[in-house]
Every structure is written in C-alpha cells, then in structure tokens.
A and B are shown apart, each in its own frame.
Chain A
Amino acid sequence: MSKNALIKILVVLIVFGLAVWYLYPTVILYGKPPDVRTEYLLKNPDILKKVLNVGLDLQGGMRLVLEIDRSTLDKDAQKDVLDRAYTVIENRINGLGVAEPTIQKQGSDRIIVELPGLRDETAAKRVIGSTAQLEFNLLREPAELQRAIKVIDDVLAGKKTEDATAVDSMDSTAQKRAAETEKARQLFEGAEEEETKDSLGAGEKKKLLSFSEHLIALGSQIGVRDRNRAVIDEILSRRDVREGLERAGLGGSTFLWGHETQKQGNSVFRPLYYVKSRAELRGDIIKDARAQIAQGGMDAGQWEVNLEMNREGARKFSRITGANVGKFLAIVLDSTVYSAPQIREKIPYGRAQISGSFTAEEAKGLAIVLRAGALPAPVTIIEKLTVGPSLGQDSIRKGVFASLVAFVVIVLFMVIYYKLSGVFADIALLFNLVLVMAAMAAVNATLTLPGIGGLILNIGMAVDANVLIFERIREELRLGKTPRSAIDAGYSRAFVTIMDSNITTLITAFILLWVGTGPLKGFAITLIFGIIASLFTALFVTRLFQDAAVGSSARKRISI
C-alpha cells in the first residue's frame, strides 16, 4: 500500500479514536438507569461538562429569562447589579435541589436560568422571581392612623385638609377629637355600608367613595375587602392624597397590605397596616433562615420561618425592641406585611419568627429566599418555558425512532442504487453520525428536539456529497475511462462543487447560530457539525474504501 494511503488510514483511525474518546462519558452516563445516574452524578459532577446534554424539550423542566429593572437604582448601584443578581439567583437555585441547573448572563440586563428535570414549577418561579426585600417596620399609633384616614377622606371629598404648619388652636384640637369619635363610629358602621354598596351593583365600586368607607375593623387592625384592593391602591397613589398627607406631617408613613386574608361572613378581607416608612432593620442582617414547624405558642403545629441575625443585626434588633416595648413591629417582605407581632420585651439574641399560615412549600421557599439574600433590583420574567416530563419522553422516543427509520431507508437505497460503493457511502454515513454526536459531546452542546430534526436532515443531506462524486464517476466511466482514473476524475471534479455548496449552507447555519436562542442554537450546531462531518467522510473515508476496492490502475471494474 502506498504511503499516501497509509497516512489517510491513520488519519481516519485517529479521528475515529477521538470520536469514541469524546463519546465515552456520554455513553457511560446515559447508559445507566435514571436513579443510578443521579447517584453517579452526585459523585462525579464534572462529567457533566464532558457529555452531550439533553435539552429541556426532551427532558422536561423549566427555562426562565429574567430581566432586571434598573430604573429604581442609582448610577453606582447599576454597575454591578447584574453580577449581584446573578449571585443571588445562583444561591436560590442551589436551594431548590435541581440536578443540573444552568444560569447564564445575557447582555447587560438578563439572566437565563434552566432547570432540567424540575417538577414543581410554582415553587421555582416564586423562589427565583421574588425580590425578597426584607424589612422590619414599626407600626404607627392608632391616633396617627385616624388622622391619616381623615386627611384622605377630606382630600377625596375636596375639602381643605389639615395643615400641620398651621398654629395649633383650641378649635383644631376639638376638631381632632370630634374627628376621632367620628372615625370610630364609621369604622364600625363601615361594615354595614359595605353590604349596601354591594347591592347597588358593580358600577358603584368604580366611583371614588371616601376612603374610610372601605375600611372595616379586622381584629386590632383595619382591613379592606380583598376585591376592593385595586380601588384602595388607586386612592393611595393619587398625588393629591399623597400631598395632603405630607402637608399634615404624615409623609413619613406608608400603608402596606398584609399577606394573609381573613374570612368574615361571605367575604374575604385583607388587613391594611400603617407603618413608619423608614425601616428599622433590613434583610441584609439575616445570617440564616430555617423553615420549621412551630413548637409552642399560638402557632404551634404551623409552619414558620425562623430567622437568625448576624452580630450587628442582633445588636440593632436588641436596641430597637428594647426601645419600643408594647409597640408592634411589622415583618415586611417585598412590601407585604407577613406579620406584625407586639414587642413584649427586648429581644437580645437576634432571633425572630415569621409565621402566617404557610404551607410547607411556602415556608421552605421563603427560607431559601431569605438565606440567599435580596435581589438588588426587581426582576421580571420575560420568557418562560415549562415542559412536563411525559412530553419530553414522548419526543425522545419519536425522535429516535424517526432517525432510525430515516437511516435504514437511506442505507437501503444507497446499496440498491450504488451497490458496493453504496455500502461504502453507508459506512461513511454511520461514521458521520458518530462524529457529529462526538463533536457535540466535546463542546458540551445540548441536544434539543430541533437538534434531532437537524440530525435527521443531516442523514438526508449527508449522502449528497457521495452522490455528487458517484454520479461524476459514472459519467467518467461512460466516457470510457478506467475505474482508477474515473475515481480520480470524479473526486477532483466534484470537490469544487462540494466545497462551494456546503460552504454556503454553512454560512446560513452560522447565521442561525448567531441569531438563535436555546433550542435553535442546538439545531444550528447539529447542522454545522453535520456538514463538516459529511465533508470529511465523503472526501476522506469513502475515498479510502474506493481506493482499497479498486487498487491500482489494473482493475477493470468498479461496483458503482
């Protein structure tokens, strides 16, 4: 055999060897049944970087694209907000217990999260998306609350409102006292008013009635019918209302909704709290958070979250509780009050509980979120994909079957039409598929359903190079050339055509790679690898077989 041929055989063997080497981890990993696989993964996590990944649409799971809202931040904070958000989300995801999560930054504002095999998507969404700003705010005294209510009522009614800058006269004090009694009366009568309003029909709700008419007494707090929540929000966000409150010296306080609703009669009511705007303590002092079932006290048997603060936090907490015994301290998460217990005594050790009719999942989710810390800025989910596991299995099955059928059909055809040369082309085709899979494993690519489509397409198109060559060889034979020279002429003439046509297809595939997201990238990658592999196998591998079969110029016949 000539030296040339020897070198070629060596090249092919080396390439084949590399392919097997790169595919080996994938075969090992996916050859194991699922439960053995998870165990193996825990012991050897870096094998994940060496295998061909299976995409969400085949495995089931969830994919989220999150976008950070930078508008609330100042310039300095904006610089590293993406990195900080990335770390927080990474920590949260690790708390979810998903086997192979992927988190990626995209551009300057986005984070892509993929959770393959995820079962509980509601928990995941909640955990990942919540801003988790934890704050401790003191509740305002009832007297102040009444003043605020009166101011709002007056603003809505168009009356002139209380002006804190005005001189405090005897009249106004009497006014205030009268107003307070009025308030108390209204609070209790408010419940009756609610009933009449309902009978008037839905249209009434739209009218801006006075603020206090919506309020009812809920235990020691005030509450609002949950249905009217949007109405209240609207009232409170009005500019004249806010200005009125500020003029009355109440600008340092805020209304916050409670997390838990209460049922009274046929309706559901939500508590409304009036708190000091400036928080006494922020969430960054949390050292640890654990979800547990309360052992004793009022909430025994219910799920709660136990907070442990760091040293500085504990110190501050001790000071705050010591100075405010008897007052109520609201635990606020993302501007919602989870609970507002009364401070019975100074709490020196920096421990607190958040309770509130949590389910186990809610408590655990909250604990994860508090442990990982608050997101530096609010985050919106702009794209979400959830695939159930059964759909994934189904797709894999169909995809694999379709590939097999396509492969068999084409193999048979090539043998029938091109005889022995067809067999060579088929071996090259097999080699082609192995190469593509190996290349994908080598770059740790992900096989998606469109990717399987790409593989099947590749099977159909891979024969093209061989067909071009074979047809050319047949032509040369018809012109009367010997098999040896026909083969040579065929390969050299076809080479140019093959290069041109495949390069242009490669161009479109690369553009697709550049433009595509997620599953499409998988498709583009299989296409690109497929083309390169088919170029190699057609020009090299099949050639080798042909040369071997025909040998030197002596042979008179070629099976084609």
Chain B
Amino acid sequence: MEIFKSVQFNFIGNRNKAFVFSGILILASVVSLFFHKGPNYAIDFLGGTVIQLQFEKAVNQDLGTIRSIITSLGYGTPEVKTVGRDDQNTIQIMVKRRGEGTMVGEQIRSALSVSYSHNPYTLLREELVGPKIGAELQASALIAIAVSLVAIIIYIAVRFNLPFGVAAVVALFHDTLITVGAFSILNYEISLPIIAALLTIIGYSLNDTIVVFDRIRENLSDSLSKKSFEDKCNQSINQTLSRTIITSGTTLAAVVILYGFFFRSADIIKDFSFAMLVGVAIGTYSSIFVATPVVILWNKKWPIR
C-alpha cells in the first residue's frame, strides 16, 4: 500500500499563501497574549495553591458559595471549577499568588469541612508552590528554551550551514509562539509540564525540518540536475512527503489517544497532550511552509553555495 507515489505538489509556489496563513496565526497569538496580559501562568510559576476535592454528593450548584467561603478567609478570588465527569463530583480550587507556608490548603479545607459536613469530601490532590520557587521555575523555563534554540542554531550551522540554522530557528520560534498563542486564546494554563511539551515540540519540529533540509542538501549537491534552487527545494519536500505524513500521523495518533483518555480528568496530561497536538501539527507545517521558504529567501539575497 502506498499513498503519495509520485506527488508533485507545488509547495514552494504556494508559499506566499502560507506566509499569510502563518501571519494570521501569529497575529492572533500576539493579540491574545497582549489582551490577556501575558500567558495564563499556573501556580508553578506564580506560586499559590491548588486543591482537588471529591465530594460524595453533587456540588456543581455550590461553586459560588465555596468561592465566597474562601474569599472570606482572605485569599482574594479563587478559581473554583468542576473537573472530570459530572458523576465524580470533583472540584478544583485554585488560589494564585498567595499561600505562603502551608496554611492556605489546610484553612480552606477546614472551612469547607465545617460548611459541608453534610457532604463530606476526600482530598484527591493538593499542590502548593511558594512564590520563590515559582519565580525560579519561570527563570529556568525561559533559560531552557533560550539555550535550546541557541544550541540548535549552532548544531545545524555546523552540520549544514548558517542559513539552514537560522531558517530552522525561525520555524521553531513560529511553532512555539503559535502553540503558546493557542493556549492563550483558549485560556489554558501554562504550567511546567507545558514547558516540557514546548521543548518536546521544538525537538519534534526540528526533527521534521532536518529531514527536509537533509534532502535539500542532497539534491543541491547533485550537479547533474539543472533545476533551480527553488525547484530542488520543492522536489525535496515532495520526496520526503510520504515520510513526513506518516510520522506526523503516527505521532498525532499517539497524542490524540493520550488526549482522549485524559480528556475528562483534571490531570495536567490533558493540557500537555493538547499542546503536543497543536505543536506536532504546526511543526510539520512549518518545516514545509516556513523553514524552507526562509532558506529560499536567504538564497535570493545571498546565494547558498
């Protein structure tokens, strides 16, 4: 069985349309980030407390009451929402930016114990992050991403050449920004595992880009061919298309399955797999429609080899 037996799509010819599409996505991301005043950081980065409680009986009508109980303890406006399936009666309480020491969680829980003695709960999960650690994690996350990008530019510049390195990093920037933008538009939280997802996406997208670049390098060194630079790029993309689609397909399948299983739970895996979904899709797209066109642009100004 084989699809894409002898495809010859004109990817490069359509690159302007792709630029526009990417432009729209990036604009939407930036606007959303601006509008929300930055990413929606989880307590991992802001400090705070998150509690998940499972009640015996239904509580979805009581969210407002619970919220005001917590506010009266002096913890500002907490986020209280239901998570998981309806019949699980599970809620999640989040108090951001506060909660020095361990009192917050205990105080909230004892206050709720008093008010809900008729509807007891069990503690599923409680997480507290002090503000100092939050700030540290923010710093290390940014450093990790920056160092990765630098390391990548260097590696590719050495293995291929500088224009390829720059093009790869532009594509990665594009992917990261759009993924973060997607989270911002949907108002999903950016937590530490999401940063891990971003780094994985960077790795994956790069993987993809290199496969294409490798082909381009091979075709460029074929002195017998009279094709133009652009044609050779197009040909490279078409030649690797089969592999690209299949690998993206299998990875996406794995991620979709992961997302599906954890869709109804409050676990961070849900957001993590969503990030991977967006990232893998955009990462595949960017190798063809961002990285390669950037190489072509570069070649127009400063011919490669």
Contacts and interface: CB of A to CB of B under 8 A. Distances in A.
The answer to whether A and B come from one shared complex is: yes
A384 B243 contact: no
Nearest to A560: B2
Interface stretch (B9-17, B63-71, B256-264): B256-264
A382 B136 CA distance: 12
B251 A457 contact: yes
Contact of B206 (A382, A456, A504, A515): A504
Interface in B60-104: 101-102
Interface in B145-163: 147-148, 151-152, 155-156, 159
Contact of B258 (A121, A384, A453, A519): A453
Contacts of A464: 207, 243, 247, 250-251
A151 B148 CA distance: 65
B122 A505 contact: no
Nearest to A129: B102
A122 B273 contact: no
A503 interface: yes
Nearest to A457: B254
Given A406-B253, A497-B214, A65 B133 contact: yes
B265 A394 contact: yes
Contacts of A457: 200, 251, 254-255, 258, 276
Given A381-B102, A501-B210, A511-B148, A475 B124 contact: no
Nearest to B126: A386
Interface stretch (A18-26, A28-36, A217-225, A410-418): A410-418
Contact of B239 (A409, A475, A523): A475
Contact of B102 (A125, A413, A501): A125
Interface in A438-481: 449-450, 453, 456-457, 459-461, 463-464, 467-468, 471, 474-475
Contact of A460 (B156, B208, B250): B250
A395 B266 CA distance: 10
Nearest to B145: A511
Contacts of A419: 1
A413 B242 CA distance: 14
Among B105, B261, B262, chain A packs the most CB atoms within 10 A around the CB of B261
B262 to A, nearest CB: 6
Interface string A188-203: 0000000000000000
Contacts of A395: 265, 267, 269
* Highest count of chain A CB atoms <10 Å: which of B124, B211, B257: B257
A467 B247 contact: yes
B183 interface: no
B74 to A, nearest CB: 13
B251 A460 contact: yes
B129 interface: yes
Interface size class on chain B is 35 or more
Nearest to A470: B243
Given A386-B125, A402-B261, A524 B214 contact: no
Given A453-B269, A460-B251, A497 B122 contact: no
B290 to A, nearest CB: 17
A425 B257 CA distance: 21
B155 A390 contact: no
A87 interface: no
A416 B250 CA distance: 13
A500 interface: yes
**Chain B binding site: helix, strand, loop or mixed by DSSP?**
helix
Contacts of B125: 385-388, 391
Interface residues of A, number: 70
B297 interface: no
Given A386-B125, A456-B254, A457-B200, A474 B152 contact: no
A467 B143 CA distance: 34
Contact of B250 (A453, A463, A514): A463
A318 interface: no
Contacts of B151: 507, 511
A295 interface: no
A169 interface: no
A157 interface: no
A500 B250 contact: no
A423 interface: no
Contact of A505 (B156, B204, B239, B262): B204
Contacts of B253: 406, 409-410, 413, 460
A470 B92 CA distance: 48
Nearest to B210: A501
B247 A497 contact: no
Given A406-B253, A509-B203, A497 B102 contact: no
A497 B252 contact: no
A449 B193 CA distance: 10
Nearest to B156: A504
A168 B209 CA distance: 92
A324 interface: no
A515 B151 CA distance: 15
Given A381-B102, A384-B127, A390-B124, A527 B200 contact: yes
Interface in B19-74: 52, 54
Nearest to B239: A475
A226 to B, nearest CB: 16
A453 B133 CA distance: 25
A91 interface: no
A519 B123 contact: no
Contacts of B304: none
Interface string B191-233: 0110010011011101110110011001000000000000000
Contacts of A390: 54, 122, 124
Interface in A492-508: 493, 496-497, 500-508
Interface string A504-545: 111111011011110110011001000000000000000000
Contacts of B273: 453
B132 to A, nearest CB: 6
A515 B203 contact: no
Interface string B116-135: 00000011111111101100
A501 B148 CA distance: 14
B141 interface: yes
B127 A386 contact: yes
B144 A520 contact: no
A461 B258 contact: no
A520 B191 CA distance: 11
B196 A384 contact: no
B257 A405 contact: yes
A330 B268 CA distance: 50
For the complex of A and B, list the 8 residue pairs with the smallest distance between their C-beta atoms, beginning with the closest. A460-B254, A382-B130, A505-B203, A460-B251, A508-B203, A402-B261, A515-B144, A501-B207
Interface of B: 1-2, 52, 54, 101-102, 105-106, 122-130, 132-133, 137, 140-141, 143-144, 147-148, 151-152, 155-156, 159, 192-193, 196, 199-200, 202-204, 206-208, 210-211, 214-215, 218, 239-240, 242-243, 246-247, 249-255, 257-258, 260-262, 265, 267-269, 272-273, 276
8 contacts: A382-B132, A388-B122, A390-B124, A391-B125, A453-B273, A464-B243, A467-B250, A505-B207
Given A450-B269, A527-B200, 15 more contacts: A381-B102, A383-B129, A387-B125, A405-B261, A406-B254, A406-B258, A449-B269, A460-B255, A461-B247, A474-B242, A507-B152, A508-B206, A512-B196, A514-B144, A515-B140
